[in-house]
Structure 1
Amino acid sequence: MSGPRFEPVRAVRAYERVVEQIEEAIESGSLCPGERLPSERELMVQFSVSRSTVREALRVLQARGLVRSRPGDPNGAEVLPFTPAALHKSMTTLARVEELSLGELLQFRMVLDSAAMLLAARLRSEEQLAEMAAAVARMKAAAETGHDEFGAADVAFHDAVVRAGGNKLIQICSDVVRSIVLGLISEKIAAAPGREALMRRSIRHHEEVMAAIRAGDGPLAARLSRKTMYDYYAGHVPAGERAALRALLE
């Protein structure tokens, strides 16, 4: 039989419909941060649902970082402003339920880092270059003292680069993805053989990246950054996922 093909429908619970409508109101700007939803009783009337349905919807919205709800508050739940914490929570959940693989997270981080390098090479100030140099100096000192200090200095370098680029969304996403990746494999990196040699090689790469940014060569800085990240992390990624990372090196 010819004609359109239809997909199976999913049964939707009443509270999910409530969540969808409130989310749409927030996303469209009909509800703004700081404003309040109607009271539970008014929501029951507007949605024609029970109190338990309204409360379940509010629990979901609060878990997603969209509202703050206090039981018994007669003023209704407060709409919250967007925060990096909400994005971090969502991406962490995706990673934990294996919707996002380590390879995908690293690939995204390589893309974000490349964009930050391109912007920084064009827009950086002398003060921001000094921040990058100070971070590299801390990395050198930390290579002799411990992995935690080295990691903190590495983060400081990349934070300085992203700030130099001036894009807040790249900054937020980079911070979120980096913390998730490190949370997944930090213990493996700390226990990896040849760790000191890897740190020294990473320092050399960072110096090369900084020199390219100083010279205004964004494409070179981006290529070097992707190579640095691949060298540092690829060994912790399943072999089947490495081809996707290598594609960004070509």
Structure 2
Amino acid sequence: MSGPRFEPVRTVRAYERIVEQIEEAVESGSLQPGERLPSERELMAQFAVSRSTVREALRVLQARGLVRSRPGDPHGAEVLPFSPAALHKSMTTLARVDELSLGELVQFRMVLDASANLLAARLRTDEELAEMAAAIERMRAAVAGSYDEFSAADVAFHDAVAGASRNKLIQICTDVVRSIVLDLIAEKIAAAADREALMRQTIRHHEEVLAAIRAGEGLLAARLSRQSMYDYYVGYVPEEERPALRTLLE
């Protein structure tokens, strides 16, 4: 029989509907940070569900950083203000659960880091430039020693650039995507025969980026960032995903 193919429907549990309605109320502003949800008993009556269903919904909302619920509290759960930590957790879950490919993640890193470098070249302070330079020095000192120390200094450099962008979303997204990408290829990097050469190449790239940021050349800093990301990660990305990365270099 020709025609459209349909996917099996998913049974939605009652607690998920409760979560959806409360999330919508927070997003629309009907529930403001600091306000309280109705008590468990009132929620049971309003949603016509059991106490265990209400508690499961509250557990999910708390895990997402939307509310704070204390056991034995006679009042309803408190609606929490926006938190970068909550966004960080949500993004990490999204990236892992949706099984984004390594190519997609690296492509996003290229976009994020280039944007951070562009903004940092215009907005950075002398103190932030000093942080970037200090991170490169720590990377250089760690080449012949611990790869963990080198990696930590590398992260510190990118964090300093992201911080200089003055954009919290860039900072959070950069942190999340970087940690996931590194988790995916950590064993391959550790086992690489030319690891020291890669480390020295990374230092050279960072020095070039820092020079461009210090000179206020945002477009150059962004281009160098995309190129360095490509050079570092392309060997780990499946062949069929590489054209998308190369597009960002054009």
**TM-score of the aligned structures, taking structure 2 as reference length:** 0.90
Q: CA deviation at 1:8?
A: 8.5
1:89 equivalent in alignment to 2:89: yes
CA distance in 2, matches of 1:125, 1:60: 41
CA distance in 2, matches of 1:240, 1:167: 33
Query: Following superposition of structure 1 onto structure 2, how do residues 144-183 of structure 1 map, counting pairs within 5 Å?
Result: 144-183=144-183
- Cα offsets for 1:60-86 (capped at 9, x unmatched): 212322223334432122223333333
- Cα offsets for 1:26-76 (capped at 9, x unmatched): 112222333321111010122222223212221221232222333443212
Residue type matched to 1:228 in 2? S
- Flag the 1:76–1:216 CA change in 2: closer, same or farther, 3 A: same
CA distance in 1, matches of 2:188, 2:86: 27
1:113 equivalent in alignment to 2:116: no
CA distance in 1, matches of 2:95, 2:173: 14
Segment drifting more, 43-52 vs 194-203? 43-52
Query: Following superposition of structure 1 onto structure 2, how do residues 61-140 of structure 1 map, counting pairs within 5 Å?
Result: 61-140=61-140
Q: Is the 8 A contact 1:95 1:101 kept in 2?
A: no
Name the structure 1 match of 2:44: 44
CA distance in 1, matches of 2:160, 2:89: 24
The unaligned stretches of length 5 or more in structure 2 are 1-5
CA distance in 1, matches of 2:83, 2:236: 30
Q: Is the 8 A contact 1:19 1:57 kept in 2?
A: yes
Residue type matched to 1:94 in 2? L
Residue type matched to 1:13 in 2? R
- Flag the 1:167–1:91 CA change in 2: closer, same or farther, 3 A: closer
**TM-score of the aligned structures, taking structure 1 as reference length:** 0.90
CA distance in 2, matches of 1:208, 1:23: 45
RMSD of the alignment, in Å? 2.0
The unaligned stretches of length 5 or more in structure 1 are 1-5
Residue type matched to 2:225 in 1? S
1:143 equivalent in alignment to 2:133: no
- Cα offsets for 1:67-111 (capped at 9, x unmatched): 233344321222233333333333333343343112111111111
Q: Is the 8 A contact 2:91 2:173 kept in 1?
A: no
CA distance in 1, matches of 2:95, 2:24: 25
